[in-house]
């Protein structure tokens, strides 16, 4: 108990800051991934000449391991594009890269999941294509996509621990650093792992609760 107090409680600031960075990087990553994913999805569905490129992008994001992408973004992008200049930016860029591929497919299945007749009915009552999208297709598609979107957020939170490898000071990084300062890996690493499990578990329970509710209400 004394050791717990000495190491965990006295370093609570460290852990909290780490949690904050983990939360920050995950939120930025999922927001960017949603924007990019939506764009790629629209290109894939409605822009014929660029369709091949969009498919290639999606497949690349989905079939390269996140760690490889992280290294690639961190070491290769600055040389190729002159960006990102900080580890933090490289971290969220890599997480967003991975998720945007998955989200593009999620968006597509959401939009295609709306029954064809609805679109035709809306168009034949005189709604413009934009209004059809805005008032008929999107509300239903969003409802259907929300659970998988939230699941993708969960995946981002889970893989965000990898950004510690490129020295972004997230929860995992702080845990490893405290371990090397105090040399008490049993307590510190176990506590770090416990925090991750607790966060991911709470998030996934919330997602499950929410999607069950949506399903029971609308389906």
Partner 1 sequence: MVGDWIQVVTGSLFWEYRNILVRGLIINFYVFFLAGVLAVGMGLVACLARLSPLRALRWCGTFYAELFRNTPEYVLLVWVHFVPPLVLTLLLHTRINFSPLFSAVVALGLASSGYFTETFRAGILSIPRGHIEAARSTGLSSLLTFRWVILPQAVRKMLPESLNQFISLLKSTTLVSLISVPDLMYQVSMITQEQMRPMPLYSGAAIAYFVIILSLSALVGKFSEGWRAVGRA
Total residue length of the chain: 219
Nearer to partner 1, 122 or 155 (CB): 155
Q: Distance (Å, rounded) from C-alpha 155 to C-alpha 146?
A: 14
Query: How many residues bind partner 1, per CB under 8 A?
Result: 35
Q: Examine residue 53 and tell whether it contacts partner 1 (CB under 8 A).
A: no
Q: Examine residue 190 and tell whether it contacts partner 1 (CB under 8 A).
A: yes
From 59, 112, 120, 212, residue interacting with partner 1 (rule: CB under 8 A):
59
Binders of partner 1 in range 142-181 (CB under 8 A): 158-159, 161-162, 164-165, 172, 176, 179
Nearer to partner 1, 23 or 185 (CB): 185
Q: Examine residue 64 and tell whether it contacts partner 1 (CB under 8 A).
A: yes
**ω into 30 cis (within 30 of 0):** no
Q: Examine residue 66 and tell whether it contacts partner 1 (CB under 8 A).
A: yes
Q: Examine residue 26 and tell whether it contacts partner 1 (CB under 8 A).
A: no
Q: How far is the CB of 72 from partner 1 (least distance, A)?
A: 5
Nearer to partner 1, 111 or 155 (CB): 155
Question: Can you give the binding site for partner 1, defined by CB under 8 A?
Answer: 59-60, 63-69, 71-72, 75-76, 79-80, 158-159, 161-162, 164-165, 172, 176, 179, 185-186, 189-190, 192-193, 196-197, 200-201, 204
């Amino acid at each position: 108990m004394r050791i717990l107090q000495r190491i965990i409680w006295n370093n609570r600031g460290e852990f909290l800051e780490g949690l904050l960075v983990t939360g920050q990087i995950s939120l930025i990553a999922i927001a960017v991934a949603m924007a990019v994913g939506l764009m790629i999805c629209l290109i894939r569905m409605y822009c014929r000449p660029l369709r091949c490129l969009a498919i290639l992008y999606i497949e690349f994001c989905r079939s390269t391991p996140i760690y490889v992408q992280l290294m690639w973004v961190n070491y290769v992008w600055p040389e190729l594009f002159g960006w990102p200049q900080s580890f933090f930016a490289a971290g969220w860029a890599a997480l967003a890269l991975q998720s945007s591929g998955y989200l593009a497919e999620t968006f597509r299945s959401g939009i295609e999941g709306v029954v064809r007749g609805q679109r035709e009915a809306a168009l034949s009552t005189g709604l413009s294509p934009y209004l059809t999208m805005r008032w008929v297709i999107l509300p239903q598609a969003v409802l259907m996509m929300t659970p998988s979107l939230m699941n993708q957020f969960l995946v981002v939170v889970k893989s965000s621990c990898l950004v510690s490898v490129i020295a972004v000071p997230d929860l995992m990084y702080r845990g490893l650093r405290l371990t090397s300062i105090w040399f008490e890996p049993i307590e510190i690493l176990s506590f770090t792992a416990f925090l991750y499990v607790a966060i991911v578990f709470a998030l996934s329970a919330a997602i499950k609760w929410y999607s069950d509710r949506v399903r029971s209400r609308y389906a």
